[in-house]
Structure 1
Amino acid sequence: MAALVRLLAPLEIAAPAVRTAISRMVRQGWLTPVKLSSGPGYALTPRAVRRLDEAIARIYRTHSNEWDGHWHVLVTSRVPERSRRERVRAGLSFLGYAPLDDTTWIGPRRSPEADALLEAESLRAERFTARHDGDSASLVRRLWDIEGLARSYERWLEDARELVRAADDNPDDETAFAVRSRLLHEWRKFLFRDPGLPRQLLPEDWPGDEAAKFFDLESSRLLPAANRFVDACLEEESSD
């Protein structure tokens, strides 16, 4: 906990907020208490590891984006409870699915996390892969707000260029960590909006391409110094 408090201080996150967040993550099943050589600590749960692996693959686009023209289709049983229904909707949307109706969802590819999400909600679903017999680009525009997403990428790029001005050609480690963390935090918000659609279904002048290039360039540039700051925080904890 002490190492996390030091690590998050450059982001202006106070110690009480860190402790509250950790407690909430334990209750939600993302972290589990463990005993470390230096005292009490926390470890990621298997569920958190799966979520982080999936998120990292989407943030840094480590998976191939080649598309064979098939959609992944989920047909779920009906969910009568509103709160549970909203959780399912939020979870499947995060994984890149969009609803055709109340019980049918489609995504450009199967998400490894979909089964775990449905199991956690005790929700039965039939799974299919299928080709769309029609204009898939029109289907995409109907199911996802492509114009709104494009505007979000344009705004992100404008804000990101302003943000990285704080980290010049040779930033100190703490500044590099803070700027890169904020850059990554804003970029990861697209996980909740961008389903990772095949490039051939997006407009030719898609602003997400330029935004992704800028993110890749700046996050890579700042990574060595940011890593040094993380290591220093952890080493300080080990020496206490």
Structure 2
Amino acid sequence: MVSLEKQILYMIQHRHEITASELIHIYKDRGKSKQTIRNALSTLKQKGYILSKDRKYTLTESGAGVIRSLQLKISGENKAWDGRWHFVMFSIPEQLRSLRNTFRRELVQIGYGLLYDGVFICPYNRNTSVLEVAKRTGLEEWIRMGSVELEYGPITASLAEQIWPVQTIHEKYDQFIEWANVKLEEWSALLNPFTVVSPWNVLLQVLELGERFGEILLEDPFLPKELLPENWLMEKAWDLYDKHLNQLIPLLRSDSHLFSLIVPVD
């Protein structure tokens, strides 16, 4: 799932319902065409993540499950690792290739890496998320799951870099940090009593911030520190993300309609 689709899911979750015309209006100043937004909505609907009724889109239980899976992956970042490995094995027939590819992609997005052909592993127990993906794709009967403590052939940080794109993600965090520092300076210059900041421009900046950081979070498997480089930049990038977001959110409070796109409605 690309960051745009994820962002739309979060907006629908926050607002409870939203129209295509409103999303098109929001994203046109982000350089997204009408067709791009309609394609994203069509994809989300085909996957069963959203429903449309009376020209309004709402989140399905499957869509809520996608958000839960991503949140579960991120929440594991602060957990101590017990050294066990959780695996998913499958051998799915060729006639189900499209569903098999979808299943593989979603496994990667919730933090699993390919150890061997048909064998994906993860240092944390994300069985609930895996089962939700299996049910969404209708592949429950083809998968097997379990957990092990390896007795021979440990998975080291060096091997982890072959299983997951650790260095690529590290570089993306570095690029985000550089971009976020520039944006923090730009917006800090605007925060004075003599400058009127448009809530609409604030929303566009929040969306860009979310897209840039969200793309990396989708790729990051959130491995335990034992399997990461010593200079891993995720925490620094996250701190900058939080700092910039906290700088922007108060500027949206004057427009409750736009504010509700970013902060959940009670």
Measured in 2, the distance between the counterparts of 1:193 and 1:213 equals 18
Match of 1:94 in 2: 109
The reply to whether residue 3 of structure 1 matches residue 32 of structure 2 is no
Q: Which amino acid aligns with 1:95?
A: I
Distance 1:13 1:34, change over 3 A: same
Deviations 1:38-75 (A, max 9, x none): xx41211111111123334556x487432222221112
Give the alignment of 1:216-227 within 5 angstroms: 216-226=242-252
Query: Structure 2-normalised TM-score?
Result: 0.74
Shift of 1:164: 4.2
Q: 1:147 is paired with a residue of what secondary structure?
A: helix
Distance 2:78 2:147 in 1: 18
Task: Write the distance in 2 (CA, Å) between the matches of 1:62 and 1:138.
Answer: 21
Conservation of the 8 A alpha-carbon contact between 1:94 and 1:195: yes
CA contact (8 A) 2:87 2:120 kept: yes
Q: What displacement does 1:202 show?
A: 1.2
- Alignment partners' CA distance in 1, 2:170 and 2:111: 16
Q: 1:127 aligns with which of 145, 153, 177?
A: 145
Picking from 121, 136, 143, the partner of 2:156 is 136
Runs of 5+ consecutive residues of structure 1 not aligned to the other structure: 236-240
For the pair 1:146 / 2:166, whether they are aligned, the reply is: yes
RMSD of aligned Cα (Å): 2.8
CA distance in 1, matches of 2:90, 2:83: 23
Answer yes or no: is the 8 Å Cα contact 2:170–2:232 preserved in 1. Answer: yes
Task: Select 1:67's aligned residue among 61, 72, 81.
Answer: 81
CA-CA distance at 1:186 after TM superposition: 1.1
1:211 equivalent in structure 2: 237
Contact 1:78 / 1:102 at 8 angstroms: preserved in 2? no
Q: Determine if the alignment matches structure 1 residue 13 to structure 2 residue 48.
A: no
Matches within 5 A, 1:108-119: 108-111=123-126, 112-119=128-135
Deviation at 1:130, TM superposition (A): 1.6
- What amino acid does structure 2 have at the position aligned with 1:158? E
The question of 1:30 aligning with 2:49 is answered: yes
Residue in 2 that maps onto 1:238:
none
Q: Cα distance 1:145–1:177, how it changes in 2: closer, same or farther (>3 A)?
A: same
Contact kept, 8 Å, 2:203 with 2:252, in 1: the verdict is yes
C-alpha change, 1:226 and 1:16, in structure 2 (3 Å) is: farther
State the Cα deviation string for residues 93-141 of structure 1 (Å, max 9, x = none). 1111111111211012122321122232424222112223325323312
Deviates more, 1:69-78 or 1:97-106: 69-78
Q: Distance in 2 between matches of 1:220 and 1:132?
A: 43
- Number of corresponding residues: 230
Aligned CA distance change for structure 1 residues 50 and 230 (closer, same or farther; 3 Å): farther
Shift of 1:155: 1.6
Contact 1:75 1:105 (C-alpha < 8 Å) held by counterparts: yes
Q: Which amino acid aligns with 1:122?
A: L
In structure 2, how many angstroms separate the alpha carbons of the residues matched to 1:6 and 1:227?
Answer: 20
- Give 1:232 deviation, angstroms: 4.5
* Equivalent residue runs for 1:149-168 within 5 Å: 149-168=169-188
Is contact 1:77-1:103 (8 Å) kept? yes
Check 1:52–1:227 CA distance in 2 against 1; reply closer, same or farther (3 A cut): farther
Q: Could you state the TM-score of these two structures normalised by the residue count of structure 1?
A: 0.81
Residue 121 of structure 2 is aligned to residue 106 of structure 1: yes
Residues 89 and 118 in structure 2, CA contact (< 8 A), matched pair in contact too? yes
- Classify 1:58/1:99 alpha carbon distance in 2 versus 1 (closer, same or farther; 3 Å): closer
TM-superposed deviation, 1:179: 1.2
Tell me how far apart the structure 2 counterparts of residues 167 and 84 of structure 1 sit (CA, whole Å): 44
- One-letter amino acid of the counterpart of residue 244, structure 2: E
